[in-house]
């Protein structure tokens, strides 16, 4: 009965509302092909030198219909050739590339000349690993920018094992060109070490990108939805990485995580090597004064566990010397096993010590509680 009712409703809808009308306001998503390359020093010349690689399908902000694609090809050709611009027709283009260090989002904004001074390129952006088929909660982190600096930045969730605040590690650069400016947003892979695009289970490996240029011809133009619209983002199609390219990304990211581990392992609070044996007044008082430890590494009873955790990560460093001799499959397995141990070292130490204290307080060592 339900099937009959559904088919009848579908037939009625099709008869009353043409299919073209049903989908008129839901055009295809913008898709930019990510190229494996490093940004050239003169990236401001890329719109003119490689115009065919740029995606100019920005829409007036709030207008989602395909009919509102307004970037005229002749205007784009004139803009990328460095011609003078009409204030009513200022194209915006996006180009994305990546190398072993990270991915780079380039935004070209045509502007009107005002003497020798050009208007700034201002925008709002966020990007999300994976496509819209991913129903997991992912902390998208929107930010505003103006030329080569942040205007604001938002991270909605607490930083933990699965979420990193990205802004301090990102980079901006802005170069002017004859009729505008190109902004480069640089994002290192190690910020997304647990979501690297070399690991994927689909033919097309998409990430989402929301890019809005404020102050354009229509007040604002968007490459994918309105502010915070995660389901209407444009897509970045990651490259079909060669084995050599995937290996470089894995190796470089692993080395970054190795550096991070060594920095954190040297922190006074958790260092397995910096707690000396000098007998100052504080250390002399430990034997007879009730106290809590100022630093995890000062707890004699926990220090063997701390030393073991530190040495196990040090062993990863020794094994990394053989990374280049491994096959890609072996490198991926090595990465998946060891990257979390390096990236989450501090979390692992703090969790282990919390469990140690919990066991101690709850007398899980097996001794009878004193009455």
For 197, other C-beta atoms within 10 Å of its C-beta total 22
In a domain, 159, yes or no: yes
Judge if 184 and 272 occupy the same domain: no
Predicted confidence (pLDDT) per residue in 302-353, tens digit: 989 999 999 999 999 999 999 999 999 999 999 999 999 999 999 999 999 9
Confidence at 365, pLDDT banded by 50, 70, 90: low
Angle (deg, nearest 10), helices 303-320 and 243-265 = 150
Work out the percent of the chain whose per-residue pLDDT is above 70.
80
In a domain, 5, yes or no: no
The domain that holds 41 is classified in CATH as 2.60.40.1190
In a domain, 43, yes or no: yes
Judge if 164 and 297 occupy the same domain: no
Judge if 177 and 324 occupy the same domain: no
Examine the fold and report which residue of 220, 240, 260 is the final residue of a domain before the chain moves on.
Answer: 240
Examine the fold and report which residue of 190, 209, 240 is the final residue of a domain before the chain moves on.
Answer: 240
In a domain, 366, yes or no: no
pLDDT tops 90 at residue 87: no
pLDDT at residue number 38:
96
Instruction: Check residues 1 and 81 and name the one with the higher pLDDT.
Output: 81
Residues spanned by the domain of 280 = 245-361
Judge if 236 and 251 occupy the same domain: no
What is residue 324's DSSP assignment?
A: G
b/e burial code for range 331-357 (CB count within 10 A of at least 16 → b)? bbebbeebbbbbbbbbebbeebbeebe
In a domain, 277, yes or no: yes
Mean model confidence pLDDT for the chain = 83
- Among residues 195, 130, 142, the alpha carbon closest in space to that of 167 is found at 142
Judge if 97 and 222 occupy the same domain: yes
Judge if 256 and 235 occupy the same domain: no
31 burial (CB, 10 Å; 0-12 / 13-18 / 19+) is middle
Distance of CA 359 to the CA centre of its chain: 38
Judge if 145 and 292 occupy the same domain: no
List CB contacts of 313: < 8 A, sequence separation 6 or more: 261, 265, 341, 342, 345
In a domain, 12, yes or no: no
0.75 surpassed by pTM? yes
Interstrand relation of 234-237 and 31-33 (parallel, antiparallel or unpaired): parallel
Judge if 197 and 323 occupy the same domain: no
Examine the fold and report which residue of 209, 240, 271 is the final residue of a domain before the chain moves on.
Answer: 240
Predicted confidence (pLDDT) per residue in 261-286, tens digit: 999 999 888 888 776 445 566 666 66
Judge if 231 and 333 occupy the same domain: no
Q: Are 111 and 181 in contact (CB under 8 A)?
A: yes
In a domain, 7, yes or no: no
Residue 215 region by backbone torsions, left for phi larger than 0, else alpha for psi between -120 and 50, else beta: left
Tokens of 3: 């099937």
In a domain, 370, yes or no: no
Predicted confidence (pLDDT) per residue in 182-230, tens digit: 999 999 999 999 999 999 878 889 999 999 998 766 678 899 888 888 8
Judge if 304 and 194 occupy the same domain: no
**Count of structural domains, the chain:** 2
* Residue appearing with tokens 């935004």: 107
Judge if 133 and 228 occupy the same domain: yes
């Amino acid at each position: 009965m339900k099937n009959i009712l559904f088919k009848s409703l579908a037939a009625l809808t099709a008869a009353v509302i043409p299919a073209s009308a049903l989908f008129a306001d839901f055009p295809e998503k913008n898709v930019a092909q990510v190229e494996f390359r490093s940004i050239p020093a003169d990236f401001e010349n890329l719109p003119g030198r490689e115009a065919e690689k740029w995606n100019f399908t920005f829409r007036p902000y709030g207008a989602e219909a395909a009919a509102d694609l307004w970037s005229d090809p002749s205007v784009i050709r004139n803009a990328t050739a460095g011609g003078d611009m009409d204030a009513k027709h200022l194209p915006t283009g996006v180009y994305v590339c990546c190398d072993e260090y990270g991915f780079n989002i380039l935004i070209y904004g045509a502007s009107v000349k005002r003497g020798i001074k050009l208007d700034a390129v201002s925008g709002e952006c966020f990007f999300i690993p994976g496509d819209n088929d991913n129903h997991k909660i992912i902390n998208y982190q929107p930010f505003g920018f103006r030329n080569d600096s942040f205007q604001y930045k938002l991270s909605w969730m607490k930083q933990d094992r699965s979420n990193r605040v990205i802004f301090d590690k990102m980079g901006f650069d802005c170069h002017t060109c004859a009729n505008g400016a190109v902004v480069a947003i640089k994002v290192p892979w190690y910020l997304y070490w647990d979501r690297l695009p070399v690991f994927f289970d689909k033919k097309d490996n998409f990430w989402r990108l929301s890019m809005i240029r404020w102050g354009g011809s229509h007040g604002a133009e968007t490459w994918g939805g309105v502010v915070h619209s995660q389901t209407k983002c444009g897509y970045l199609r990651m490259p079909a990485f060669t084995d050599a390219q995937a290996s470089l990304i894995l190796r470089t990211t692993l080395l970054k995580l190795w550096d991070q581990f060594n920095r954190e392992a040297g922190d006074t609070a958790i260092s397995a090597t910096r707690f000396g044996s000098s007998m100052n007044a504080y250390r002399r008082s430990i034997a007879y004064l009730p106290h809590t430890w100022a630093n995890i590494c000062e707890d004699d009873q926990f220090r063997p566990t701390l030393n073991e955790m530190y040495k196990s990560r040090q062993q990863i460093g020794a094994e990394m010397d053989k990374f280049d001799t491994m096959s890609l499959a072996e490198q991926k397995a090595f990465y998946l096993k060891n990257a979390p141990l390096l990236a989450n070292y501090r979390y692992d130490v703090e969790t282990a010590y919390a469990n140690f204290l919990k066991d101690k307080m709850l007398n899980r060592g097996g001794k009878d509680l004193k009455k």
